[in-house]
Amino acid sequence: MNLWENGAALLAGGRFHEALATYGQALKNHPASMEARLGLARACLGSGDAWTAVAWLGDAARVAPANPTPLHELANLLLNQQQYAQAWPVYQQLYTRFGVRDRATLLHYGFCLEQTGALDDAVRLYREAIEREPGFMEAHVDLAGVLWRVEDHAGALAHAQRAEALAPGHPYAVRIVGTSLLHLNRLDEAEQQLRRALQLQPGFNLAQVDLALTLLLAGKLEEGWALYHQRWNDAARMPRPAFFQPALEWKGPARQPVHGRRVLVYAEQGLGDVLHFIRYVPQLQADGATVFAVVQPELAPLLGSMPGLECYRPGTELVADLHVALLDLPMHYRTTLASVPARVPYLRADPQRVAQWRERLRPWDGQRKVGLCWAGSPAQVNNRNRSMPLSTFAPLLDVPDVQCFSLQKGDGGHYTDASPPPDRLPDFTADWQDFSDSAAMVECLDLVITVDTSVAHLAGALGKPVWLLLGPNPDWRWLLARDDSPWYPTMRLFRRDFGESRAQQVGRVVQALRQPAQGLTSASRGK
């Protein structure tokens, strides 16, 4: 048996360390060998060393540039490691250089593009896969899953229904039908389909989470919170923090009183989510707990100003009796629409910083000072639906007796498609050190107008008037068919209907802004 046969036999038998030695010898004997490098990559992968496998596959592609095999294995390995930004250029090479168009390559290439935010390109790949194989159920599922993100809601539902027709009773197909109905705000139908998906596959995590979001959006909070807790069952999508210990996870006040206990609350999702749910800390404190929090560094100084709350950055060594994720607190306190802890402000800006910012904005005294934020994080799954081009906000800059200020931290990506003169939209965000500065500046404004991003939660938590512009299929917390929020009494919602342009939506905001006598908040309008 030669080295190649011996190496293959060792791989097949799971004897990966011996295979490493065998292929290492083969490489010494044949320094330019692609096959030896492939064998080393496969042996490394089998022994649990995925990143060395990546390196060997890259080297195999280097020594054999005309052979697609190393690239194919490299792309699939990076995909399995969820390294989508690294995987898609490799799939691109397979697609363009070698003309690889098999169903798996098209689907995986499209998926990697989707995960990195290249939605239009992902749609193109999924459509190509379907053109080549009209009965490709998985491609219909993935296409339906991305079309709503580019605001083709009808197309998403059509492909979801096609997937279910191709595979009647397939839980993934049924789930995507339910999800597509959810994004169309057809909540009763969505709930029915998602419950059916769970009947077909009990414990189906994606369906559980989507059903939770459906129930929350419908205002059925108690059942929604309980189902949403199941998100933790998908460790790849929702990893626990390094300090997590199952035995210390808090099970709620009815099962585990917290009086005299040290309770750690921790961030699990975005900045806005932390600002939203940190409101539950006073309830824990009222129950007798000493509460400290692990949150994003940019939030720690502001949240640390809450009475009795110690805030720490991730990675800090802490000792706690119990710990709990912030977004599990509404479940533990059995929050309903009637019992939302909505007293504001529950965050307060530092008075010294407020005084500094007030002095800085003094040249515009006598005008209504309005902060604008038009784009959220590009990493957020629904960012394309929620964000707006700055040019769409331009009419707000022309309202008499109003001075607008940028609250857009960062450049906003391609949504910052205009460059208003500095006197029309002064931008001081480069001087913000953290959210304490953001809060202090917001405290000096009369009104905040923003898309659905952390700025909305910051203004709402400070008790400032805030007008929130929402897409047709809003995040669950904003509910449907109302222009106020049970979470933030000073917030007014401007919803965009399906088929309505962003310009039309902003036009309604401009009209409202031209009528200051009506007040700035829903609360002042008697809602």
Average pLDDT for 444-464: 97
Better pLDDT: 382 or 225: 225
Q: At which of 312, 339, 366 does a domain end?
A: 339
- Are residues 264 and 228 both part of a single domain? no
**Whether pLDDT at 120 is above 80:** yes
DSSP lists the bridge partners of residue 292 as: 264, 310
3-state secondary structure at position 494: strand
**Whether pLDDT at 332 is above 50:** yes
- Are residues 321 and 415 both part of a single domain? no
Residue type, 221: L
> CA end-to-end span of the chain, whole Å?
83
3-state secondary structure at position 64: coil
Choose among 363, 395, 407, 394: nearest CA to 514.
Answer: 395
Give residues with Cβ within 8 angstroms of 422, minimum separation 6. Answer: none
Structure tokens given for 327:
């977004």
Is residue 162 a contact partner of residue 140, using CB atoms and an 8 Å limit? yes
- How many residues does this entry show for the chain? 527
What is the Cα–Cα distance from 411 to 44, expressed in whole angstroms? 42
- Are residues 94 and 225 both part of a single domain? yes
Domain contains 455? yes
3-state secondary structure at position 394: helix
Which of the four pLDDT bands, split at 50, 70 and 90, describes residue 327? very high
Domain contains 238? no
Surface-to-core class of residue 411, CB atoms within 10 Å of its CB (0-12 exposed, 13-18 middle, 19+ buried): exposed
Q: Over the stretch 127-160, which tens digit does the pLDDT of each residue have? A: 999 999 999 999 999 999 999 999 899 999 999 9
pLDDT score recorded for residue 522? 40
- Are residues 253 and 222 both part of a single domain? no
Q: Over the stretch 352-363, which tens digit does the pLDDT of each residue have? A: 999 999 999 999
Token match 């959006």: residue? 217
Q: Which domain holds residue 519?
A: 351-525
What is the Cα–Cα distance from 60 to 69, expressed in whole angstroms? 9
Backbone angles phi, psi at 167, to 5 degrees: -135, 75
Domain contains 240? no
Specify the number of domains making up the chain.
3
Share of the chain above pLDDT 90, in %: 87
Q: Convert 108-127 to b/e letters by CB count within 10 Å (16 or more is b).
A: bbbbbbbbbbbbebbbebbb
Is residue 127 a contact partner of residue 118, using CB atoms and an 8 Å limit? no
- Are residues 427 and 335 both part of a single domain? no
Q: How far is CA 424 from the centre of its chain?
A: 32
Domain contains 241? no
- Are residues 262 and 169 both part of a single domain? no
Give residues with Cβ within 8 angstroms of 487, minimum separation 6. Answer: 276, 340, 342, 460, 477
- Are residues 281 and 303 both part of a single domain? yes
Better pLDDT: 61 or 380: 61
Which of the four pLDDT bands, split at 50, 70 and 90, describes residue 305? confident
Chain mean pLDDT for the chain: 93
Which of the four pLDDT bands, split at 50, 70 and 90, describes residue 3? confident
- Are residues 364 and 510 both part of a single domain? yes
In angstroms, what is the C-alpha Rg of the chain?
27
Structure tokens given for 390:
């700055």
Q: At which of 173, 201, 233 does a domain end?
A: 233
Is residue 206 a contact partner of residue 176, using CB atoms and an 8 Å limit? no
- Are residues 435 and 290 both part of a single domain? no
Q: Is the preceding omega at residue 474 within 30 degrees of 0, hence cis?
A: no
Is residue 432 a contact partner of residue 441, using CB atoms and an 8 Å limit? yes
For the chain, percent helix, then strand, then coil, each to nearest 5? 55, 10, 35
Q: Over the stretch 405-431, which tens digit does the pLDDT of each residue have? A: 999 988 778 899 999 999 999 999 999
Q: How far is CA 472 from the centre of its chain?
A: 18
- Are residues 72 and 126 both part of a single domain? yes
